[in-house]
Structure 1
Amino acid sequence: MVPSLEGLTFAPVADQAPGQVGTGTRFTYHEQDGGIWAEYAGGDVVRGRLVGTRSGDRLDFRYVQLTHDGITSSGHCESRIVELPDGRLRLEESWQWESRTGDGTSIVEEVTRHAR
Protein backbone atom coordinates (compact mmCIF):
# COMPACT_ATOMS: atom_id res chain seq x y z
CA MET A 1 0.00 0.00 0.00
CA VAL A 2 1.17 3.50 -0.84
CA PRO A 3 1.87 5.58 2.30
CA SER A 4 -0.49 8.27 3.58
CA LEU A 5 -0.35 11.77 2.14
CA GLU A 6 -1.07 13.30 5.56
CA GLY A 7 1.17 16.30 6.19
CA LEU A 8 3.25 15.86 3.04
CA THR A 9 4.32 18.85 0.93
CA PHE A 10 4.55 18.59 -2.86
CA ALA A 11 5.87 20.89 -5.59
CA PRO A 12 5.50 20.76 -9.39
CA VAL A 13 8.57 19.54 -11.28
CA ALA A 14 7.88 22.05 -14.11
CA ASP A 15 6.05 25.34 -14.61
CA GLN A 16 2.62 25.35 -16.24
CA ALA A 17 1.16 28.26 -18.21
CA PRO A 18 0.86 31.71 -16.55
CA GLY A 19 -1.92 31.86 -13.96
CA GLN A 20 -1.45 28.23 -13.04
CA VAL A 21 0.70 26.33 -10.58
CA GLY A 22 4.46 26.36 -11.09
CA THR A 23 7.68 25.29 -9.44
CA GLY A 24 7.15 27.98 -6.76
CA THR A 25 3.79 26.50 -5.73
CA ARG A 26 3.62 24.27 -2.64
CA PHE A 27 0.78 21.85 -1.85
CA THR A 28 0.26 20.60 1.71
CA TYR A 29 -1.88 17.45 1.73
CA HIS A 30 -4.14 15.93 4.38
CA GLU A 31 -5.83 12.56 4.39
CA GLN A 32 -8.42 10.85 6.59
CA ASP A 33 -10.85 7.97 6.04
CA GLY A 34 -10.55 7.99 2.23
CA GLY A 35 -10.89 11.76 1.96
CA ILE A 36 -8.06 14.05 0.84
CA TRP A 37 -7.67 17.80 0.90
CA ALA A 38 -4.84 20.28 0.43
CA GLU A 39 -3.98 23.94 0.60
CA TYR A 40 -1.64 25.43 -1.98
CA ALA A 41 0.00 28.77 -2.77
CA GLY A 42 3.05 30.21 -4.48
CA GLY A 43 4.07 31.48 -7.87
CA ASP A 44 1.02 32.97 -9.63
CA VAL A 45 -1.35 31.37 -7.08
CA VAL A 46 -2.32 33.44 -4.04
CA ARG A 47 -4.44 30.71 -2.50
CA GLY A 48 -5.79 27.37 -3.64
CA ARG A 49 -7.73 24.47 -2.15
CA LEU A 50 -8.50 20.98 -3.31
CA VAL A 51 -10.81 18.32 -1.92
CA GLY A 52 -11.60 14.80 -3.03
CA THR A 53 -11.19 11.10 -2.43
CA ARG A 54 -8.49 8.45 -2.48
CA SER A 55 -8.89 4.83 -3.52
CA GLY A 56 -5.62 2.91 -3.29
CA ASP A 57 -3.07 4.79 -5.37
CA ARG A 58 -5.69 6.96 -7.14
CA LEU A 59 -6.88 10.45 -6.21
CA ASP A 60 -9.97 12.16 -7.62
CA PHE A 61 -10.52 15.79 -6.59
CA ARG A 62 -11.82 19.23 -7.47
CA TYR A 63 -9.66 22.34 -7.05
CA VAL A 64 -10.26 26.08 -6.86
CA GLN A 65 -7.69 28.87 -6.84
CA LEU A 66 -7.16 32.62 -6.78
CA THR A 67 -4.28 34.12 -8.78
CA HIS A 68 -2.45 37.41 -8.27
CA ASP A 69 -4.41 39.02 -11.11
CA GLY A 70 -7.65 38.49 -9.13
CA ILE A 71 -9.00 35.64 -11.25
CA THR A 72 -10.63 32.61 -9.66
CA SER A 73 -10.61 29.28 -11.47
CA SER A 74 -11.76 25.73 -10.74
CA GLY A 75 -11.30 22.29 -12.19
CA HIS A 76 -11.11 18.53 -11.79
CA CYS A 77 -8.00 16.33 -11.41
CA GLU A 78 -7.27 12.61 -11.31
CA SER A 79 -3.87 11.55 -9.96
CA ARG A 80 -1.88 8.40 -9.50
CA ILE A 81 0.49 8.08 -6.52
CA VAL A 82 3.91 6.63 -7.35
CA GLU A 83 6.65 5.85 -4.83
CA LEU A 84 10.06 7.03 -6.05
CA PRO A 85 13.26 5.00 -5.53
CA ASP A 86 14.40 7.43 -2.79
CA GLY A 87 11.14 6.89 -0.84
CA ARG A 88 9.49 10.19 -1.79
CA LEU A 89 6.08 10.24 -3.46
CA ARG A 90 5.11 11.55 -6.89
CA LEU A 91 1.61 12.45 -8.10
CA GLU A 92 1.09 11.96 -11.83
CA GLU A 93 -1.86 14.19 -12.66
CA SER A 94 -4.39 14.62 -15.44
CA TRP A 95 -6.47 17.79 -15.01
CA GLN A 96 -9.16 19.79 -16.73
CA TRP A 97 -10.41 23.28 -16.03
CA GLU A 98 -14.16 23.47 -15.41
CA SER A 99 -14.44 27.26 -15.15
CA ARG A 100 -12.51 27.94 -18.37
CA THR A 101 -11.08 26.03 -21.32
CA GLY A 102 -7.97 23.91 -21.05
CA ASP A 103 -6.59 20.63 -19.78
CA GLY A 104 -3.25 18.93 -19.36
CA THR A 105 -0.98 16.74 -17.33
CA SER A 106 1.49 17.56 -14.60
CA ILE A 107 3.76 15.94 -12.06
CA VAL A 108 4.25 17.02 -8.47
CA GLU A 109 6.80 15.44 -6.16
CA GLU A 110 7.25 15.33 -2.42
CA VAL A 111 9.54 18.20 -1.44
CA THR A 112 11.46 16.44 1.31
CA ARG A 113 11.85 12.82 2.23
CA HIS A 114 9.20 11.78 4.74
CA ALA A 115 10.17 9.29 7.43
CA ARG A 116 8.13 6.16 6.93
Structure 2
Amino acid sequence: MTATASIPSLDGRRFRMVSSTTSAVDPDAPSVFTYWERDGAIWGDYEGDTVTFGRFVGTRTGDSIWVSFVHVLVADGTVVTGDGESDLEMTDAGLIRLVEHYEMHGAPQLSVCEEIAAV
Protein backbone atom coordinates (compact mmCIF):
# COMPACT_ATOMS: atom_id res chain seq x y z
CA MET A 1 0.00 0.00 0.00
CA THR A 2 1.40 3.41 -0.87
CA ALA A 3 1.78 6.22 1.63
CA THR A 4 -0.98 8.26 -0.07
CA ALA A 5 -3.65 5.56 0.39
CA SER A 6 -6.42 6.32 2.87
CA ILE A 7 -8.19 2.95 2.44
CA PRO A 8 -6.70 0.03 4.45
CA SER A 9 -4.98 -2.94 2.84
CA LEU A 10 -7.17 -5.35 0.87
CA ASP A 11 -5.11 -8.31 2.10
CA GLY A 12 -7.37 -11.22 3.08
CA ARG A 13 -10.61 -9.30 2.53
CA ARG A 14 -13.65 -10.78 0.77
CA PHE A 15 -16.13 -8.87 -1.38
CA ARG A 16 -19.49 -9.64 -2.99
CA MET A 17 -20.74 -8.16 -6.23
CA VAL A 18 -23.82 -5.99 -5.68
CA SER A 19 -24.31 -4.55 -9.19
CA SER A 20 -22.95 -4.89 -12.71
CA THR A 21 -23.76 -3.46 -16.12
CA THR A 22 -22.48 -6.70 -17.71
CA SER A 23 -25.14 -8.98 -16.20
CA ALA A 24 -27.89 -9.17 -13.59
CA VAL A 25 -26.40 -10.05 -10.20
CA ASP A 26 -28.06 -12.93 -8.33
CA PRO A 27 -28.56 -11.44 -4.84
CA ASP A 28 -28.72 -14.93 -3.29
CA ALA A 29 -25.52 -16.20 -4.96
CA PRO A 30 -23.41 -13.26 -6.16
CA SER A 31 -19.83 -13.56 -7.33
CA VAL A 32 -17.51 -13.49 -4.31
CA PHE A 33 -13.95 -12.16 -4.58
CA THR A 34 -10.96 -12.77 -2.27
CA TYR A 35 -8.18 -10.18 -2.41
CA TRP A 36 -4.54 -10.34 -1.37
CA GLU A 37 -2.14 -7.40 -1.28
CA ARG A 38 1.59 -7.02 -0.70
CA ASP A 39 4.13 -4.34 -1.68
CA GLY A 40 1.80 -2.67 -4.18
CA ALA A 41 0.72 -5.95 -5.83
CA ILE A 42 -2.91 -7.17 -5.83
CA TRP A 43 -4.09 -10.71 -6.65
CA GLY A 44 -6.96 -13.04 -5.92
CA ASP A 45 -9.78 -15.21 -7.13
CA TYR A 46 -13.54 -15.21 -7.53
CA GLU A 47 -16.50 -17.47 -8.24
CA GLY A 48 -20.28 -17.53 -8.10
CA ASP A 49 -23.26 -16.26 -10.06
CA THR A 50 -22.32 -16.42 -13.78
CA VAL A 51 -18.65 -17.31 -13.11
CA THR A 52 -17.37 -20.86 -12.55
CA PHE A 53 -13.99 -19.51 -11.38
CA GLY A 54 -11.76 -16.54 -12.07
CA ARG A 55 -8.36 -15.11 -11.20
CA PHE A 56 -6.90 -11.60 -11.22
CA VAL A 57 -3.57 -9.87 -10.66
CA GLY A 58 -2.60 -6.22 -10.67
CA THR A 59 -1.26 -3.22 -8.79
CA ARG A 60 -2.41 -0.65 -6.27
CA THR A 61 -1.63 3.05 -6.36
CA GLY A 62 -3.13 5.01 -3.49
CA ASP A 63 -6.87 4.31 -3.42
CA SER A 64 -7.04 2.82 -6.93
CA ILE A 65 -6.25 -0.64 -8.18
CA TRP A 66 -5.66 -1.94 -11.70
CA VAL A 67 -6.08 -5.65 -12.49
CA SER A 68 -6.05 -8.07 -15.40
CA PHE A 69 -8.60 -10.86 -15.04
CA VAL A 70 -9.64 -14.15 -16.60
CA HIS A 71 -12.71 -16.22 -15.78
CA VAL A 72 -14.80 -19.11 -17.08
CA LEU A 73 -18.55 -18.62 -17.58
CA VAL A 74 -21.00 -21.11 -16.06
CA ALA A 75 -23.38 -21.00 -19.03
CA ASP A 76 -21.10 -22.30 -21.77
CA GLY A 77 -17.51 -22.53 -20.50
CA THR A 78 -16.42 -19.45 -22.43
CA VAL A 79 -13.16 -17.94 -21.17
CA VAL A 80 -13.36 -14.17 -20.67
CA THR A 81 -10.29 -11.94 -20.27
CA GLY A 82 -9.87 -8.25 -19.66
CA ASP A 83 -8.55 -5.57 -17.39
CA GLY A 84 -10.06 -2.87 -15.27
CA GLU A 85 -9.51 -0.17 -12.74
CA SER A 86 -11.29 0.18 -9.40
CA ASP A 87 -11.71 3.14 -7.09
CA LEU A 88 -11.65 2.18 -3.42
CA GLU A 89 -14.20 3.85 -1.14
CA MET A 90 -15.27 3.45 2.47
CA THR A 91 -18.95 2.79 3.21
CA ASP A 92 -20.83 4.42 6.09
CA ALA A 93 -20.54 1.05 7.87
CA GLY A 94 -16.72 1.22 7.71
CA LEU A 95 -16.38 -1.44 5.01
CA ILE A 96 -14.58 -1.11 1.68
CA ARG A 97 -16.44 -0.68 -1.62
CA LEU A 98 -14.81 -1.32 -5.02
CA VAL A 99 -16.20 0.71 -7.94
CA GLU A 100 -14.86 -1.15 -10.97
CA HIS A 101 -14.48 0.36 -14.44
CA TYR A 102 -13.64 -2.08 -17.25
CA GLU A 103 -14.38 -2.87 -20.87
CA MET A 104 -16.21 -5.98 -22.03
CA HIS A 105 -17.91 -6.80 -25.33
CA GLY A 106 -16.36 -3.63 -26.76
CA ALA A 107 -18.19 -1.30 -24.37
CA PRO A 108 -17.36 0.39 -21.05
CA GLN A 109 -18.80 -1.40 -18.02
CA LEU A 110 -19.25 -0.68 -14.31
CA SER A 111 -19.65 -2.99 -11.35
CA VAL A 112 -19.74 -2.46 -7.61
CA CYS A 113 -18.47 -4.89 -4.99
CA GLU A 114 -18.77 -4.45 -1.24
CA GLU A 115 -16.69 -5.99 1.50
CA ILE A 116 -18.22 -8.90 3.38
CA ALA A 117 -18.02 -8.06 7.07
CA ALA A 118 -15.86 -10.43 9.12
CA VAL A 119 -17.81 -12.55 11.57
Common topology (TM > 0.5):
yes
Give the structure 2 partner of residue 47 of structure 1: 53
Give CA-to-partner distance per residue, 1:4-42, whole Å, 9 cap, x none. Answer: 001111111125545x87541000000000000110000
Give the structure 2 partner of residue 3 of structure 1: 8
Give CA-to-partner distance per residue, 1:47-92, whole Å, 9 cap, x none. Answer: 1011100011010111110012110011111111001121100011
| Structure 2: stretches of 5+ with no match in the other structure | 1-5
SS in 1 for 2:19: coil
How many residue pairs get matched?
A: 111
| Structure 1: stretches of 5+ with no match in the other structure | none
**Cα distance change on mapping 1:59 and 1:22 into 2, 3 Å:** farther
**Aligned partner (choices 109, 112, 115) of residue 110 of structure 1:** 115
Give the structure 2 partner of residue 25 of structure 1: 31
TM-score, normalised to structure 1, is 0.86
Task: Trace 1:39-78 onto structure 2 (pairs within 5 A).
Answer: 39-68=45-74, 69-78=76-85
Q: Percent identity?
A: 35
Q: 2: distance between equivalents of 1:65 and 1:73? A: 5
TM-score, normalised to structure 2, is 0.84
Moved over 3 A (4+): 15-18, 20-23
Q: 2: distance between equivalents of 1:13 and 1:21? A: 7
Q: What is the CA RMSD across the aligned residues, in angstroms?
A: 1.9
